[in-house]
Amino acid sequence: MTLSSPPTPEPPTPEPPTGAAPEAEARSALLLRVGRDRDRNAFALLFGHYAPRLKAFMRKMGADDAVAEDLMQEAMLTVWRRADSFDPQKASAGTWIYTIARNLRIDRIRRERRPELDPDDPALIPALVSEAPPPADERLHRERVDDRVRAALKDLPPEQAAVVALSFYEDAPHADIAARLGVPLGTVKSRLRLAMKRVRESLGDCLS
Amino acid sequence: MSAAFHPSDDLLASYAAGSLDEATGLLIASHLTLCPACRDTVDRAEVVGGALLDSLVPDDTAMAPVSADALARVLSRLDDPLPVPHRAPPPSAPQAQAGAAAEGLPAPLRQYLGGGLDTVRWTRLARGLEQSLVVDSGRVRARLYRIAPGVTIPDHTHHGSELTLVLHGGFSDLNGHYGRGDVASADSTVSHRPSADPDGPCICLAVTDAPLRLNGWVGRLISPFLNL
């Protein structure tokens, strides 16, 4: 949001979020409108899509219903407050919101700090490739990346899919996953590596 | 110069998933600062997280329906003043003179130390070997080590696993030479005798998830005092 932008007209009352789910590209566009224009209507549409998912995500982590509801509302508030830092060339709306939910979960449920890199760190070693912005027709290619990853995840062998789901949804350390699946620790690690390899192959040069 | 030895993909994926303990997370975040290739891998793994969030099905969401007034409650809070952060903001990076940044500590580590290397209180372990505890998350600990030029750490194997990130200088073991940004991984199958480079001290961040067992006779002698 730029403070110098002209005041936007009062948005119409947000529609109830029961309509058709906005497509991935539309969701990133909505998030951009939230960041740029403080568009409450766009926020309500995003809420309709993400609120149930965020609450389920928190529940899977073991939060009870009331805590999951609180954390979901907190996550959506954070989406509103930080939307001006959303960059559709770096991530899709789904990926960006996922990282907010993940960090909130570590902070509130595990009560730990999450060590994060600082993009402005003078010690940061930049990527060798130039970071020129992609051409205009590539602007929404992050959503295509998401589509390919989602397709690759659907095609994972069930034993790899299980390890991925336990890692990402339930925040389970490798040792816990091994105990729950009744397999050795090394098997958990190799399944996760194989799954990541498949994801990477499905993307080809899409992300590099 | 970019790193030549990297953490395994399962560690990078777990960092993206948020399922690492704090000590290991600190080592990974510090490595990411120094390694664009692993930053890419973590980006991809975060896409996996986003895709999984998006693909939660009605069965998942029906188990815990969103309360009827949730949207109204969130909308009513949009203009609330920002909450005061419950943690003090991390100390800002030292305004290093040009050139110092290239050898500076990664920001995630500086945040834990509350500053740069000059803030570290070292404890002497043995001749030429000092340590400082950075994160103690129960069974898993992150420590800084300072190894004097040319010193070889006693032969040891590991009960659990050990990850070592080189921050300054370098060392060599059976697998090769490790320089700034490189991550050495060791587990219980490895017995090694890392040797610090002769031309200067080597500073590493090491994460261990179980006590080390020193093999050599010197190692057995000093091992009770090391609390490694």
pLDDT tens per residue, range B172-222:
988 889 999 999 987 655 667 789 999 999 999 999 876 555 555 555 455
Q: Which two tokens stand for residue B81?
A: 């003043």
Comparing alpha-carbon positions, the chain B residue that sits nearest to A125 is B34
The pLDDT of residue A149 is: 86
pLDDT higher than threshold 70 for residue B32: yes
Q: Which residues of B, range 90-129, sit inside 8 Å of A by Cβ?
A: 93, 96, 101-102, 104-108, 111-112
Assessment of whether the complete model's pTM goes beyond 0.80 = yes
Residue of chain A with shortest Cα separation from B96: A122
Higher pLDDT, B89 or A127: A127
Rounded CA gap, B141 and B153, in Å? 19
> A171 to chain B, minimum CA–CA distance in Å?
5
Provide the token pair at A167. 């890692």
CB-CB neighbors (< 8 A) of B14 in chain A:
167, 173-174, 192
Residue numbers in B near A197 (CB within 8 A): 9
- The beta-carbon neighbor of B10 closest among A44, A76, A189 is A189
pLDDT at residue number B186: 79
Residue-wise pLDDT for B70-88, tens only, equals 999 999 999 888 766 555 5
Q: What is the mean pLDDT of residues B13-27?
A: 93
B-chain residues near A121 (CB < 8 A) = 33, 93, 106-107
Provide the strand spans (E) within chain B. Answer: 123-126, 129-137, 140-147, 156-158, 162-168, 171-173, 176-178, 183-186, 195-196, 202-208, 212-214
What are the φ/ψ torsions at residue B210 (nearest 5 degrees)?
A: -165, 160
Of B10, B13, B64, the CB nearest to A65: B64
Residue B171 phi, psi dihedral angles, 5° rounding: -145, 165
**What are the φ and ψ backbone dihedral angles of A42, each rounded to 5 degrees?**
-60, -40
Interface predicted TM-score (ipTM) of this complex, two decimals:
0.82
- pLDDT for B114-158, tens place per residue? 999 999 999 998 889 999 999 987 778 999 999 999 998 876 666
Take residue B186 and report the two structure tokens written for it. 């060791």
Q: Which residues of B touch A153 (CB under 8 A)?
A: 48, 51-52, 55
Residues of chain A with pLDDT under 70: 1-21, 129-141, 204-208
> How sure is the predictor about B160, in pLDDT bands with cuts at 50, 70 and 90?
low
Question: Which SS3 state, helix, strand or coil, does residue B78 take?
Answer: coil
Q: Is B61 on the interface with A (CB under 8 A)?
A: yes
The closest CB to that of B10, out of A193, A200, A208, belongs to A193
Buried/exposed B159-187: b ≥16 CB within 10 Å, e otherwise: eebbbbbbbbbbbbbeeeebbbbbbbebe
Q: Least CB-CB distance to B17: which of A81, A116, A167?
A: A167
Which residue, among B21, B42, B52, would best test binding to A if mutated, counting the most A CBs under 10 Å from its CB?
A: B52
Q: How confident is the model at residue B58 (pLDDT cuts 50, 70, 90)?
A: low
Instruction: Check CB contact of B140 with chain A, cutoff 8 Å.
Output: no
Cα A106 to Cα A25, A65, A81, A111, A181: the distances in Å are 28, 17, 19, 6, 23
Contact status of A165 with chain B (Cβ, < 8 Å) = yes
Chain A touched by B15 (CB under 8 Å):
no
pLDDT of residue A1: 41
Decide if A79 contacts A31 (C-beta within 8 A): yes
So what's the pLDDT on residue B101? 54
Which is higher by pLDDT, B228 or A160? A160
Please determine, for residue B21, whether its predicted confidence score (pLDDT) is greater than 60.
Answer: yes
* Stronger pLDDT, A18 or B38, i.e. the higher one: B38
State the nearest Cα–Cα gap between B218 and chain A, in angstroms. 32
A95 CB within 8 Å of a chain B CB: yes
> What is the predicted pLDDT for the residue at B140?
86
Residue type, B98: A
Chain B interface includes A206 (CB < 8 A) = no
B36 → closest Cβ in A60, A69, A128 = A128
Q: Take residue B76 and report the two structure tokens written for it.
A: 């009513």
Mutate to test the interface with A, among B47, B67, B111 (most CBs of A within 10 A): B47
How far is Cα A169 from Cα A68, in angstroms, rounded to an integer? Answer: 13
Q: What confidence score (pLDDT) does residue A24 get?
A: 76
pLDDT at residue A140, rounded to an integer:
46
pLDDT attached to residue A15: 47
Number of helices (H) and strands (E) in chain B: give both, helices first: 7, 11
